[in-house]
């Protein structure tokens, strides 16, 4: 039994689309397939790998895979081929690497377990903000 590896040829158009345009395409793809609770995290200055991470939930493994496929389709519409797509087989967490934007499409339980939003936003709020928010909510 021989399985051929799924090879994605990477290609960026010349000139590549702006990060804003790429983020817009990702947003559109997520909206098109009704992804849940999308969050964009600016990781410039925190990571040398990418500028933005987008985390979004799907309601089932089929939904997760479909959202990831739609992100790839919309990126290709800009002439951007993904640098990689990981996790499609299990489809509990599919990562789509578009260079300047990395998209994580996850089942809610997987998203809650790994808490990527917390990981990448720790230290973004000045000290004491949490206490002020808690005091406001208590009133």
Give the pLDDT of the chain (139 residues) as one tens digit per residue: 445 555 555 555 668 789 999 999 999 999 999 999 999 999 998 888 999 999 999 999 999 999 999 999 999 999 999 999 999 999 999 999 999 999 999 999 999 999 998 887 776 655 555 555 555 555 5
pLDDT tens for residues 55-67? 999 999 999 999 9
pLDDT of 12 = 59
Q: How many CB atoms lie within 10 A of CB 124?
A: 10
Cβ proximity of 64 and 29 under 8 Å: no
CA dist 34 and 68 (Å) reads 12
Give me the residue label for tokens 């998209």. Answer: 103
Could you tell me which CATH class the domain 19-121 is placed in?
alpha beta
Which candidate, 27, 84, 74, 77, places its Cα nearest to that of 50? 84
pLDDT tens for residues 101-127? 999 999 999 999 999 988 877 766 555
pLDDT of 40 = 96
pLDDT of 108 = 97
CA dist 28 and 22 (Å) reads 10
Judged on CB neighbours under 10 Å (0-12, 13-18, 19+), 33 is middle
pTM for this entry: 0.79
pLDDT of 103 = 98
Residue 36 backbone phi and psi in degrees, to 5: -105, 140
């Amino acid at each position: 039994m021989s399985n051929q590896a799924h090879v994605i040829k990477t290609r960026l158009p010349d000139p590549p689309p702006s990060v804003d345009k790429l983020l817009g395409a990702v947003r559109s793809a997520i909206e098109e397939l009704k992804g849940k609770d999308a969050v964009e995290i600016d990781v410039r200055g925190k990571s040398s790998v990418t500028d933005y991470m987008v985390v979004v939930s799907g309601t089932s493994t089929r939904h997760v895979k479909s959202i990831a496929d739609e992100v790839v389709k919309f990126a290709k519409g800009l002439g951007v081929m993904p640098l990689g797509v990981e996790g499609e087989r299990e489809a509990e967490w599919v990562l789509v690497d578009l260079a300047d934007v990395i998209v994580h499409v996850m089942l809610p339980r997987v998203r809650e377990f790994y808490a990527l939003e917390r990981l990448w936003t720790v230290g973004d709020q000045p000290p004491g903000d949490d206490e002020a928010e808690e005091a406001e909510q208590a009133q």
